[in-house]
Chain A
Amino acid sequence: AQTVTQSQPEMSVQEAETVTLSCTYDTSENNYYLFWYKQPPSRQMILVIRQEAYKQQNATENRFSVNFQKAAKSFSLKISDSQLGDTAMYFCAFGVDSNYQLIWGAGTKLIIKP
């Protein structure tokens, strides 16, 4: 069975610091996608970043980047120069083209302190 594990229920850092959220997954598929979604207190689920498994280059979106380690089945999210607006739940998710379902992690609550 495919699973996604986020081992950090909650983290907090000072504003402007860098923080890394961890995510590991288990699959026998070779072609798949990985996602990080953010859910701020407004509750809207927002796509932060997406990685295709066949791409070796780590995806980046402004202050957000990933460290994708395919062999280790690890997909961590790094937030640089953290801002108060980054306070949110962060969910890691996994999906394959042949299956519409996304498998979701339990989430990490990130608090950015002023």
Chain B
Amino acid sequence: DAGVIQSPRHEVTEMGQEVTLRCKPISGHNSLFWYRQTMMRGLELLIYFNNNVPIDDSGMPEDRFSAKMPNASFSTLKIQPSEPRDSAVYFCASQSGGGKLFFGSGTQLSVL
């Protein structure tokens, strides 16, 4: 298995632009998570999907953030419009039984 696949690995954009991050979870995993990691706040859960349905989006910072999971093998996290304070590493993770999280390699987002 290739593991959780995220793209792009790096994204540099200007303030106000739309940013779309992509994730392919591990096949057979029913749960998918989007996390954000910063030095100041550590690892924050943004949204959680179970069987492609958003269960908890209370961690999404504001309406500029949205996430979708149209099928079991694909999810997107979109920021529109982006702001410099959105700069962070964004991780996607899928979950197997027993709580184990398997992370993608992350997207380093820089908003100038």
**A interface residues, Cβ below 8 angstroms from B:** 33, 35, 37, 42-47, 50, 52, 91, 95-97, 100-102, 104, 106-107
In the bound complex, CA of A43 to CA of B42 (Å): 13
> Judging by beta carbons under 8 Å apart, are A100 and B55 in contact?
yes
CB distance from B40 to the nearest CB of A (A): 11
Instruction: Say yes or no: A52-B31 contact (C-beta < 8 A), given A44-B103, A45-B91.
Output: no
Contact of A102 among B55, B101, B108 (CB under 8 A): B101
CB distance from A64 to the nearest CB of B (A): 15
Interface of A is mostly: strand
Identify the stretch in B17-25, B43-51, B66-74 within 8 Å (CB) of chain A at 4 or more residues: B43-51
Interface of B is mostly: strand
In the bound complex, CA of A44 to CA of B101 (Å): 12
Chain B residues positioned under 8 Å from A101 (CB to CB): 45, 48, 56
Chain A residues positioned under 8 Å from B103 (CB to CB): 44-46
Give B9's nearest chain A residue, CB to CB: A43
Chain B residues positioned under 8 Å from A45 (CB to CB): 91, 93, 101, 103, 106
Give B31's nearest chain A residue, CB to CB: A100
In the bound complex, CA of A104 to CA of B42 (Å): 9
> Judging by beta carbons under 8 Å apart, are A43 and B89 in contact?
yes
B61 on the A face (CB < 8 A): no
> Judging by beta carbons under 8 Å apart, are B93 and A97 in contact?
no
Chain A residues positioned under 8 Å from B55 (CB to CB): 100
> Judging by beta carbons under 8 Å apart, are B99 and A35 in contact?
yes
Chain B residues positioned under 8 Å from A47 (CB to CB): 100-102
B98 on the A face (CB < 8 A): yes
Give B44's nearest chain A residue, CB to CB: A104
Contact of A91 among B43, B102, B108 (CB under 8 A): B43
Give B104's nearest chain A residue, CB to CB: A44
